[in-house]
A and B are shown apart, each in its own frame.
Chain A
Amino acid sequence: MSDSRTDVETHAGQAGAESESASFVAYELWENPGFVLEPALAPAMDG
Chain B
Amino acid sequence: MDEFPHRVPYRCLPINIANQAGWFVRTPVGFSVTWNGKHDLAGLKIEFLERLAPEREQALRRHIKSNFGGGIVTFAFPWLFRTPKGIGLWVRGPSNRVFYNARPIEGLVETDWAHAPFTMNWRIEKRNTAAYFRANDPVCMLTPFPLDLLDSLAPQIKPIAEAPELHEQYQAAARERNETVRRAVEGMKQGFELNYMRGNTRDESATWDGHRTKLKLRGFDSHRPDAN
Contacts and interface: CB of A to CB of B under 8 A. Distances in A.
Partners in one complex: yes
Counting chain A residues whose Cβ lies within 8 A of the other chain, the interface size class is 20 to 34
Contact of A7 (B1, B83, B223): B223
A8 to B, nearest CB: 5
B63 A24 contact: no
Contact of A35 (B26, B219, B222): B26
A46 B4 CA distance: 13
A46 B7 contact: yes
Given A33-B60, A42-B214, A43-B16, A8 B220 contact: yes
Given A33-B59, A43-B19, A27 B79 contact: yes
Contacts of B84: 12, 22-24
Contacts of B219: 8, 38-39
Nearest to B26: A36
Contacts of B138: 40
Contacts of B1: 43
Interface string B44-72: 00000000000010011011000000000
Contacts of B63: 33, 35
Contacts of A17: none
Nearest to B57: A33
Interface of A: 3-10, 12, 22-46
Closest 10 CB pairs of A and B: A34-B28, A39-B217, A26-B79, A36-B26, A22-B84, A30-B78, A27-B80, A25-B82, A6-B220, A32-B78
